[in-house]
């Protein structure tokens, strides 16, 4: 789907796209096999709706916080 739209795969909304694919597969056995290509083309047309906006750069990047110790740290002895 991402190749068809020429966007990176991370820009496709997983939740909405998975629901659309499941709906396609759910009703596929009930329809004639000749309608599958038509349904796939409709899915590709709907895929433009699933594109997410590009990610913003973080103003404050994520960092690993140090775990607080239960014990006090020994203060350095000055000479």
Pairwise CA distance, residues 51 & 32, whole Å? 30
Beta bridge partners of 51: 12
Structure-derived torsion over alpha carbons of residues 27, 28, 29, 35, reported in degrees to the nearest 10:
120
What is the average per-residue pLDDT within 17-33?
90
Q: Find tokens 């659309």 and name the residue.
A: 20
Over range 47-55, report the average pLDDT: 89
- What token pair was written down for 40? 């796939």
Please tell me the predicted confidence (pLDDT) of residue 79. Answer: 64
34 vs 78 pLDDT, higher one: 34
Least confident of 10-14, 17-21, 35-39, 72-76: 72-76
3-state secondary structure (DSSP) of residue 7: coil
């Amino acid at each position: 789907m991402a190749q068809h739209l020429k966007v990176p795969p991370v820009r496709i909304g997983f939740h909405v796209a998975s629901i659309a694919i499941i709906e396609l597969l759910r009703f596929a056995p009930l329809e004639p096999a000749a309608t599958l290509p038509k349904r796939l083309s409709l899915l590709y047309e709907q895929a433009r709706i699933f594109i997410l906006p590009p990610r913003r750069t973080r103003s404050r990047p994520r960092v690993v916080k140090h775990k607080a110790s239960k014990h006090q740290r020994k203060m350095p002895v000055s000479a």
